[in-house]
Amino acid sequence: MMARTQQGPRLLLAIMGALVALTYQARRKTFIMVYEVPVSDPVVVTTLDFVTKNFNKKSEDPYNFRIVRVLKVLKRVTDHMQYRINLEMRRTTCLKMEVNNCSFQEGELYKKIDCFFSVFVIPWFAKYKVLAQNCTDG
């Protein structure tokens, strides 16, 4: 009988310890999960759309760029989601104000770039923010 009465406080202490550890981990922004996700994932699709529009808006190139190939997408989960994306983009025939049915440039206006993007995402609020971007001529 005495052993059972001591189990309650021990269980409570173990639960409290676990909660403190989880709270500490969350404050440190330790990544709870990191894994590769498919390009077909609906959140990845909307994130790629955001990345493309954001890139074209900030680019000084007179032409829009479009994704040719997504090489890898990693998802990091903490208190939000962060996508780390490696992709290839190419210059299109559409100027900044045009967005429909843009084919890729050929000849002397051909340009391919390799890009890495790190994007903060809260999909249920449609909130996106580019945390890091690095693009180099491909």
Question: For residue 91, is it within any domain?
Answer: yes
Q: Strands of 33-36's sheet, edge to edge?
A: 33-36, 63-77, 81-95, 112-122, 127-137
Question: For residue 62, is it within any domain?
Answer: yes
User: How many domains does the chain divide into?
Assistant: 1
Looking up residue 60, the CATH number of its domain turns out to be 3.10.450.10
pLDDT at 90: 97
Q: How far apart are CA 91 and CA 28, in angstroms?
A: 40
Does residue 81 surpass a pLDDT of 80?
A: yes
Tell me if the pTM is above 0.85: no
Encoded amino acid at 124, one letter: W
What is the residue range of 119's domain? 33-137
Question: For residue 22, is it within any domain?
Answer: no
Question: For residue 38, is it within any domain?
Answer: yes
Question: For residue 70, is it within any domain?
Answer: yes
When the pLDDT of each residue in the chain is averaged and rounded to a whole number, the result is 85
| Sequence-distant contacts of 92-101: CB under 8 A, at least 24 apart | 92/63, 92/64, 92/65, 92/66, 93/63, 94/63, 94/64, 95/62, 95/63, 95/64, 96/56, 96/62, 96/63, 96/64, 98/64, 99/64
pLDDT at 17: 56
Question: For residue 15, is it within any domain?
Answer: no
Read off the pLDDT of residues 84-120 as tens digits, 9 standing for 90 and up.
Answer: 999 999 999 999 887 778 899 999 999 999 999 999 9
Does residue 41 surpass a pLDDT of 80?
A: yes
